[in-house]
Amino acid sequence: KIPVIIDCDPGVDDALAILLALASDKLEVRAITTVAGNQTIAKTTANALRIVDFLGAGTKVAAGAAKPLQRELKTAEWVHGASGLGKADLPPARRLAADPLNAVDLIWESVRQSQEKIQLIALGPLTNLAILLSAHPGVREKLAGITLMGGSCFLGNTTPAAEFNIHCDPEAAKIVFESGLPITMIGLDATRQAVVYESEIAEIVAIPSRVGKFVGDLFRSTLEVCRFFGAEGAVMHDLLAVAQVINPQLVKTQAYRVEIETSGEFTTGKTVVDRYHVWNREPNARVGLEVNRPAFLEMIKEMMVQYGI
């Protein structure tokens, strides 16, 4: 099994990503850490806890940064709703409470105690990971790499140029992309192909499973928002990043130099991807470009089977 730590801001698609990770026999989820992004840190942490509690998983959950390194937090409430889980609902966690350590300390402790290198999966703004890398430079030796959902080669979704997670905390993203660690960037170029249509959502939800209603509500919340943007189906950003760690063949990637725009007039938070190698500089990330959508759908269906009644 691949040991992973998931840093996230649940978040409708983060919630589905957590479900997928905890169901997978390929991953060993050592901890889930939270960051402010889609919602406040209080809400993203409460959501992570109630998801883990609902699944009866007992995975450690620790709260991290309440705001980006240098900027004010602008949540995505209009996408993820007042709770952060859209139209889905779960009771508050009864058995679990947040770990006494904060996110950065919990990652550092888990990584230090681990025999194997750990893969980080980042599904929100990169604030916690930037603090970790700055406070504990030695962490690099204990990490296998970072697979992150964020950025795009071409269009943004928060501004015409920038994707939400990178736009939220560009200074943190810069630290992460300059860390020297193997980075897999699952950005909008790939996640826009990770679309699930209404008839497919119905097929997924029809699989007998104890998470059926929750998964259905999460998918349908996303579908509604995506339709508002003119998309035909539900685009599953964070789910694809976890899926890529489970099956690295799922998204075809290419190595490129990626720089983070931190001071553009119109482009702050853009991942500037040197696709034509005009800079002639060492690549610092593998960028996801082409998704095997049938295999992605199959993985979601297998997840439902894992949570079978």
Residue 249 φ then ψ, to 5°? -90, -10
* 11 makes contact with Ca ion (CB under 5 A): yes
Q: How far is the CB of 80 from ligand BDR (least distance, A)?
A: 6
Instruction: Single out the catalytic residue among 80, 136, 237, 277.
Output: 237
CB of 280 to ligand BDR, least distance (A): 30
d(CA 246, CA 208): 23
Check binding of 14 to ligand BDR (CB under 6 A): yes
> Residue 146, SS3?
strand
Candidates 110, 165, 184, 193: give the one binding ligand BDR (CB under 6 A): 165
What tokens appear for 138 in the block? 């030695």
Question: Which of these ranges, 6-14, 52-60, 200-208, 212-220, lies near ligand BDR under the rule CB under 6 A?
Answer: 6-14
Looking at residues 265 to 294 of the shown chain, list those that interact with ligand BDR (rule: CB under 6 A). none
Q: Is the dihedral of CA 130, 86, 163, 152 positive or negative?
A: positive
Question: ∠ CA(121), CA(211), CA(208), 5° rounding?
Answer: 125
> Which residues 235-254 are close enough to bind ligand BDR by CB under 6 A?
237-238
Mask: binding to ligand BDR, 27-66, rule CB under 6 A, as x and -? -----------x----------------------------
Q: Is 153 in the site for ligand BDR (CB under 6 A)?
A: no
Binding test (CB under 6 A) with ligand BDR, winner from 123, 176, 234, 243: 123
Alpha helices in the chain (DSSP H): 12-23, 41-55, 77-80, 103-113, 127-135, 164-168, 170-177, 188-191, 198-206, 212-228, 237-246, 293-306
CA distances to 35, 88, 114, 261, 278 from 125, in Å: 7, 22, 25, 15, 28
> Which of 5-13, 63-71, 72-80, 150-158 is the region at the interface with Ca ion (rule: CB under 5 A)?
5-13
